[in-house]
Structure 1
Amino acid sequence: MDYKSIQQLIKTAGEEGLTFLEIETEGIRITMKKGSQTDVAENSVSVTSNLESLEEKKEEQVEIKENAANENKEAVNNITASTDEKDLKTVNSPIVGTFYASGDPKEPAFVEIGSKVKKGDTLCIIEAMKLMNEIQSEFDGEVVDILVENEQMVEYGQSLFKIKVK
């Protein structure tokens, strides 16, 4: 950028009433500020506080969406509990994957309808990304229903078993 171009740039910026201009071209960086340092500092603070305010609003919206999602899950669980018997609990899938009723196709299933289970007993395995995840019972009781088939794909939160608790 030559001297005449810079001079023309200064003249144009002044005529347009610009208070700040920054240009970088051909390895040359030109920064022009018009006004006192306090004017520039006040404008910087204003922009910074506006950005912080926007970030806070985004975080609030994320929290509101998360709270709404949790409330919806609780509502679904409450509806399930009220329509079924009070002592009937559902075991849901904590991950997306493939449901396996046993650890090996030649072995019997971990549980069948009518099986008595205790808290911590393995109910099934869900394979996700080549990892075998044992799903354990969260309570003592009797398996009254198995809601998925062996080797079936399951979704996060999908009901797998119904257990009548003691």
Structure 2
Amino acid sequence: MLKVQEIRELIKLVDQSSISEFTYEAEGTKIEMKKPGSVQPVSPAYQAVPVQAVQTEAVPAPVQPQAAAIEAPVAAANAAEAAKTEKAEENLHKIVSPMVGTFYQSSTPGGDAYVQVGSKVNKESVVCIVEAMKLFNEIEAEVNGEIAEILVKDGQLVEYGQPLFLVRPV
């Protein structure tokens, strides 16, 4: 049986996440949570109303050759920048969150972060903590390398599979 504090923590985590429904079953106990505004099945009592076709007249859009001439080089530059960034990220290893929880960079509030951009890590190096239901789970680097980027902020709620760090393997 879950304690009241654990149920409150579950409610808080579901509320702060992007999921709309959550179900938990254990030892004959079942908890279901649904966020307001989530899509509900349509009742079969409602029937579709046929829509009449309306004939409209096509109106050509105004041509603005000057704007198109300016936008084309900008779009090409943006595409080149995106390709360069994507190419650089291809060689980086993502450390992802193994669970939904709260991300912490250090073991104590106000303490030194486990890693920073540029820190050298090995497979067993602890890079952060993800707290879920009052359990503090140490997350390891899983790869030898150097921290290239920290993708989340201290105290931020993270989802399962969400990238936390980018590591440049060595």
Which has more helix, going by share of residues?
Answer: 1
Bigger Cα Rg: 1
The alignment's TM-score, normalised by the length of structure 2, stands at: 0.48
- Normalised to the residue count of structure 1, the TM-score between the two structures is 0.49
